[in-house]
């Protein structure tokens, strides 16, 4: 049965930023931190999660239509911004968080510094740690189109076709470029990893689930192992036949895995 997605989209002047915020559902807050390619819409996974939680999907500074203050220069700045946003928007803490790729890195940084902000944390294909084997795929030696191809294992999956596997309108192409301009500032050097985060992970007290697509073509699965070794008590769930964006490629299986963890 398909239902009409129920979400609102608004622009708020909050946490030092003119912020694009999508939200839907009701109940306890669930914060979604998107990845370095931005988030194109209210996605199917958001809708599924919104049946259980009040889901907040801010476009991080520089992404979507959110503004991009000059002072945001690093992922650590961004993690501080997230904590500012949570407080400024009056979200009750601790709250649950799901971070995708860049968003996972942000959540992990924040959890190392503040053990009281998150009740549970889900890191999905998270950046931030240099993999033991392989390399984090280089977005900036490739085109935007190739980045999405590389992010998906199944190029026939519905949301890939809907958002990426097609010709973009000029506005869509422009939004993609805007997101790349934001990503490059946060990720350029060291490329998509932190030198010190691995040493800080043991400070995390938040129950953590790591979700990785077995065929993640962006952040190799060996980074998942390093996160698991670093964060006390972290569990890992690997989705088979799945790439870097499980929430778009396998929304139902992904949501089920996450809900089990958050509800359990």
Instruction: Print the binding letters for residues 159-188 with another protein: x by CB under 8 A, - otherwise.
Output: ------------------x--xx-xxx--x
| 76 contacts another protein (rule: CB under 8 A) | no
37: left (phi over 0), alpha (psi -120 to 50) or beta: alpha
Residue holding tokens 């919104």?
Answer: 50
Chosen residue from 130, 153, 244, 250 binding another protein by CB under 8 A: 130
Q: How far apart are CA 34 and CA 19, in angstroms?
A: 14
Rounded Cα distance between 21 and 9, Å, is 6
* DSSP strand pairing (118-124 vs 208-213): parallel
Taking each continuous run of H as one helix and of E as one strand, the counts in the chain are 10, 8
Smallest distance, another protein to C-beta of residue 199, A:
12
Residue span binding another protein (CB under 8 A) among the ranges 47-55, 97-105, 139-147, 200-208: 139-147
Question: Quick one: which of 26, 115, 138, 256 contacts another protein (CB under 8 A)?
Answer: 138
**Which are the contacts of 130, defined by CB distance < 8 A and separation ≥ 6?**
136, 190, 193, 223
Q: Does 199 bind another protein (CB under 8 A)?
A: no
Binding range to another protein, per CB under 8 A, among 15-23, 137-145, 218-226, 237-245: 137-145
Q: Are the C-beta atoms of 103 and 78 separated by less than 8 Å?
A: no
Measured from the CB atom, the residue of 135 and 260 that comes closer to another protein is 135
The DSSP letter of residue 128 is B
Among 3, 133, 141, 264, binds another protein (CB under 8 A): 141
Backbone phi, psi, residue 230, to 5°: -85, -40
**By C-alpha distance, which of 14, 194, 142 is closest to 90?**
14
Q: Write down the least CB distance from residue 174 to another protein, Å.
A: 8
Tokens for 125, please give them. Answer: 């294909």
Show the binding pattern over residues 202-241: x = contacts another protein (CB under 8 A), - = does not.
----------------------------------------
Annotate each residue in 45-74 with x if it binds another protein (CB under 8 A) or - if it does not, as one string. Answer: ------------------------------
CA distance 185 to 240: 32
Tell me, by CB under 8 A, how many residues bind another protein: 20
Q: Looking at beta carbons only, is 131 or 165 nearer to another protein? A: 131
- For another protein, the binding residues (CB under 8 A) are 130, 135, 138, 140-144, 177, 180-181, 183-185, 188-191, 193, 195
């Amino acid at each position: 049965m398909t239902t009409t997605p129920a979400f609102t989209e608004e622009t708020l002047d909050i946490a030092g930023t003119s912020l694009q915020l999508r939200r839907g559902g009701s109940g306890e807050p669930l914060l979604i931190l998107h990845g370095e390619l931005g988030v194109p819409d209210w996605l199917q996974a958001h809708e599924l999660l919104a049946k259980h939680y009040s889901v907040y999907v801010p476009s991080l500074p520089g992404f979507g239509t959110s503004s991009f203050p000059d002072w945001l220069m690093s992922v650590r700045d961004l993690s501080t911004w997230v904590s500012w946003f949570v407080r400024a928007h009056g979200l009750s803490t601790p709250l649950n968080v799901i971070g995708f790729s860049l968003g996972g890195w942000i959540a992990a940084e924040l959890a190392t510094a503040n053990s009281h902000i998150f009740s549970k944390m889900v890191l999905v294909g998270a950046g931030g740690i240099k993999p033991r084997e392989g390399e984090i795929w280089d977005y900036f030696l490739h085109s935007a189109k190739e980045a999405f191809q590389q992010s998906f294992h199944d190029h026939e999956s519905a949301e890939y076709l809907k958002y990426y596997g097609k010709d973009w309108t000029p506005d869509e192409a422009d939004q993609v470029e805007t997101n790349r301009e934001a990503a490059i500032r946060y990720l350029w050097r060291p490329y998509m990893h932190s030198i010190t985060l691995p040493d800080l992970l043991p400070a995390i007290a938040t129950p953590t689930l790591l979700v990785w697509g077995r065929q993640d073509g962006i952040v190799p699965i060996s980074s998942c192992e390093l996160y698991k070794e670093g964060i006390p008590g972290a569990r890992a769930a690997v989705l088979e036949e799945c790439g870097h964006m499980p929430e778009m490629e396998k929304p139902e299986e992904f949501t089920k895995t996450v809900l089990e963890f958050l509800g359990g």
